[in-house]
Structure 1
Amino acid sequence: MRLQTKLMAGIFVLVLLIGLGFEATFKEMMEDNLKESKGHQALAIAKAVANMPEIQKAFLLPQPSTVIQPIAEQIRKQVDAEFIVVGNRQEIRYSHPNAKRIGKKMMGGDNKAVFKGKAIISESVGTLGPSLRGKAPILNDKNEVIGVVSVGFLQIDIQKEIKRLQGKIFLYTSLLLVGGLVAAILISFNIKKAIFGLEPREIAWMYQEKHAILESIHEGIIAIDADGDITVVNETAHKILGVPNDILLRGKPIEDVIKHTHLLQVVQTGLAEYDREFLIEGEVFVVNRIPIFDKRQQVIGAVASLRKKSELSKITQELSNVKAYAEGLRAQTHEYSNKLYTLLGLIQLGSNQEAIDFISKEVNVTQGFLHFITQEIGDPILAGFILGKVSLAHEMRIEFEIDPDSSFVDIPRSINRDSIVTIVGNLINNAFDAVKENIDREKKVTLFLTDLGRDLIIEVEDNGNGISTGNEERIFQRGFSTKGGQSNAGIGLSLVQESLEGLDGYLTLSSEEGVGTVFTVVIPKKEGL
């Protein structure tokens, strides 16, 4: 059974039970109240009649009924009672709605207490049928009981009144049930709409799915509502905040858990914030803060994702290395395609000897260079990377030299090779960009690597235009560039700095405008680690 049907059926059954209970309870209360009211009314009338001087004096007459009957009948009609019977101590009637029964004995057998001076309410069966009676004693001047007044309402009349009121109750109950059914339909539709038409099992599955997704990602996720109370926090966020998983953070104000998150500002402004740096326990995190909107586009909360800046830097480094590899392979392919076209042309011209000499020259140069790289650059990734840069330089018509005194074999295992590639690659790319601006003079870049001593030294020199005064510090800031708005500019040297921080190294530069720039990197080997 669908949720909407269950809600409608459940609410209707609940209203039905309430209506039936209301009807039964009200009927019982109404019946009791009506009997009690009629009983007290009958008793009050009986007392009033018993205290009338005319009634008391009539008992001294030879024919009391001649006085009492007219008075009793007049009062009976006025109060709409079924009967008013006045009798003496012998229970002989002096009045009755049926005049033929005057002079006969009263029926019911409930006068004993009255003759003792008590006024009572009783239910008994008389000549007119079952009735509810009020009885009061008639006293003489000596305060002696000389008679009794009995005022009654028939039970059948009371039942008619109850049935008449019960009809109204049934009408009201029916209206209540109809209203309950309408309310059930409206409530079920509103609830269905509020939960986007989902069934409980689907909501439970989505909750489990969301929990699994939150726990599977490596970023810390924290969400708050419009009041700033935490609604979602995953396991990674617990670790970032240093809070054990068994401590419940949901429901706590965000500012009590972590200060200055700016999530409340996002809720207030409705503006997202991307790639903002945030310090937690001395460690830098990159944070994205996004507002949460409802279907009316009103902000109902905000969510933040946190990730260590060092992890993002590592990914950026790896992407930079991949890009550099791809550029190197493309350059090599292009260079060797040109050489193959040259050989094809020499062969077609019949210049076989020139073709042989060209091949021999290329083989000797290539083998010599490969031998140098293989012997002096111990890491194959770095060696292949430099070869790719050599081919790229040829394509860009840049004279790229590797100092023949270079040696880079003694690299401790504790030093990350990817970081070395990132440093060398970005320094070479920066030098290539610098010399591309040379128009009237040669474009030259020199790489020097050495592992002698206690440090690894990397030196990249170019004969570009140099760095203008005042920009020596700014060039290491992420986003700053002198390349005139090129895509991805202003990142390379900042990556070099971040890599050096992880290696406890440092970088120096020497630049002269119009002459060129020399970047020198020093990385301690950390012997004994």
Structure 2
Amino acid sequence: MSGQFLLLQLGVITIVLLAVTMVSVTQSRAEFVEVRGQRMLAIAENLASTPLVRDDITAPQASIMLAPDVDKSRALSGASVVAVTDAKGTVIASSDPQTVGDTLDLAADRSPLGRSWTGDLTLGGRQTIGARVPVLQADGTVNGVALVAEEYPPYGSALAAAVPDLMLFLGMGAALGLAGSWLLSRLIRRRTRGLEPDEIAELADNREALLYSIREGVIGVGLDGKITLLNQTATDLLGLPPDAAGTPVKELPLDGHVQGLLLETTNGEETMAVSGSRLLVLNRRTVGSRGRPMGTVTTLRDRTELAELESRLAANQSITETLRAQTHEFLNQLHTVSGLVQLGEFAEVRTFIGTLTRRRAEINDEIAQRIKDPSVAALLVAKTSLAAESGIELRLSSASHLSPLEPSLAADAITVLGNFIDNAVDAIAGLTDVTVLVDVSDNDSMITIRVSDPGPGVPEDLEQRIFTRGFSTKPASASGRGVGLALVRLVCSKRHGYVAVRNDAGAVFEATLPYATVVHD
């Protein structure tokens, strides 16, 4: 790189010196014209004012008589040509006797012969700087012209005169360029960690290829809170505009929780966050160079499909638990019937079976009358049996009503309702003679699901965090810890609904599921 800088600087210096040389030569010729032109004019005026020239210019032997004055003028001025001509330009006397009788260019078209003049003249095919002065009689008549001219010096001589200075300046420029290139190269190598330009370009290409080929999203945030880098996956997962790089995180259309995670300047464990209709896993790490912090890099992984699978698995587990509870309940009841039969208490058997049948029918009828969707009704029947095993009454409010739902909406409603009920049952586990109130209703635009329990409620500082994946008030060893309510929030976000919790003699969880089509990214 230093060699390239040196060659570049030498090239620039050479071009500048050549331009300066041309300007110098041009100025030298201009100075020659001004100085020598005035000198030629002074000699011509002196020659034209000589009495001998004025008196003998018309004599028959004028060429011989004027020759001494012409030669004297040439010797004094150093001119190339000194001549005396008549008014028509015919040479009468000249420093070059061979030109006597020739006609010279007097530049009469540029100035009247009766006036002195100086400028460029072409004499014998050569370019000269000349001066022309009229030879006047006492009455002002122009009898002839005194002409003095000097050839322009060749360009080569002017250029040769400039060569020593040119070489000196070029050498000085080369030395300064070499020193500057070496210092600049050291500075650039220190700033680029010792990498050459081709290595930097290869590194940048490899980085781009890596960032845009991995499936995970990568987003870098500087210490000033601005996006420094992000790949296409991160842009798609967070729904950012294509030109988001360089924009402050706070100005991006992101959920407040996601913004807070991206702006954290410390290492963090894997964190779940909901962005739009996606459930993301964020892993943040601080980065630096040579002990100097530079910001954070956060990787994003889409876990939306996995969350949906977990939701289905949780539903299956709930069904399994319900079947287990019902099996246990049916076994106890069957053992009771068997004992009564062995004791011969057939009337008690009929009464006991009738009571069981009537109670089951009442529960089923109450739910079926208000909940017309079969899958949601089946969930409520199953959850009622499961809660009863723990000594908890699950009661459907009298205001509940639900029409049949299309399959995808019914699945989302089951996810929300099942997790709300499970959360309520867990909150009051160990209490007796308690009731969980369930309210499910719909209108023309949405479904509203509300579950209330008489438990200790949710602390105000946890009302938002409780819907974050991974957060739970259950023991660390509990299964399904921190999953259910995060799935509820995800389902509601996909439906453009909302989920919230408040305290009213216990915890009240409420969610809405609009009938609008689910947004798929």
TM-score between both structures, scaled by the size of structure 2:
0.48
TM-score norm. by structure 1 comes to 0.48
